[in-house]
Amino acid sequence: MPAAVAASGFEPPTIQDFFPPAVLFAGTPFELNRTMLIRLVALLALCAWLYLGTRRMKLVPGRRQVATEFALGFVRNNIAIETLGEEDGRRFMPVIMTMFFLVFAMNITGVVPFLQLAGTAVIGLPLILALIAWALFIYAGFKKLGWTYLKNALFLPGVPWPLYFLLTPLEILSTFIVRPITLTMRLLMNMVSGHLLLALVYAASSFFLFTLLPQGNLFGLIGVGTVVFGVLYLAFEIFVALLQAYVFAFLTAIYIQLAVAEEH
104 binds another protein (CB under 8 A): no
2 binds another protein (CB under 8 A): yes
Min dist. Cβ of residue 258 to another protein (A): 12
Min dist. Cβ of residue 78 to another protein (A): 7
Q: For residue 111, which phi and psi values (nearest 5 degrees)?
A: -115, 0
Position among 106, 204, 251, 260 found at the interface with another protein (CB under 8 A): 251
132 binds another protein (CB under 8 A): no
Stretch in the footprint of another protein (CB under 8 A) among 24-32, 132-140, 206-214, 244-252: 244-252
Strand partners, 191: none
Please write down the HEC assignment for all residues of the chain: CCHHHHHHCCCCCCHHHHCCCEEECCCCCCCEEHHHHHHHHHHHHHHHHHHHHHCCCCCCCCHHHHHHHHHHHHHHHHHHHHHHCHHHHHHHHHHHHHHHHHHHHHHHCCCCCCCCCCHHHCCHHHHHHHHHHHHHHHHHHHHHHCCHHHHHHHCCCCCCHHHHHHHHHHHHHHHHHHHHHHHHHHHHHHHHHHHHHHHHHHHHHHHHHHHHHHHCCHHHHHHHHHHHHHHHHHHHHHHHHHHHHHHHHHHHHHHHHHHHCCCC
Span 176-205, contacts to another protein by CB under 8 A: 181-182, 185-186, 188-190, 192-193
Position among 250, 255, 259, 260 found at the interface with another protein (CB under 8 A): 250
Min dist. Cβ of residue 126 to another protein (A): 11
Min dist. Cβ of residue 186 to another protein (A): 5
- Say how many residues touch another protein, by CB under 8 A: 19
- 124-145 and 222-260 helices, crossing angle to 10°: 20
Q: Given the complex with another protein, which of 207 and 248 has the nearer CB atom? A: 248
Min dist. Cβ of residue 45 to another protein (A): 26
One symbol per residue from 69 to 88: x for binding another protein (CB under 8 A), - otherwise; what is it? Answer: ---------x---x------
Stretch in the footprint of another protein (CB under 8 A) among 19-27, 58-66, 161-169, 250-258: 250-258
Q: How far apart are the first and last CA of the chain?
A: 52
Min dist. Cβ of residue 195 to another protein (A): 12
Which residues bind to another protein, rule: CB under 8 A? 2, 15, 78, 82, 181-182, 185-186, 188-190, 192-193, 243, 246-247, 250-251, 254
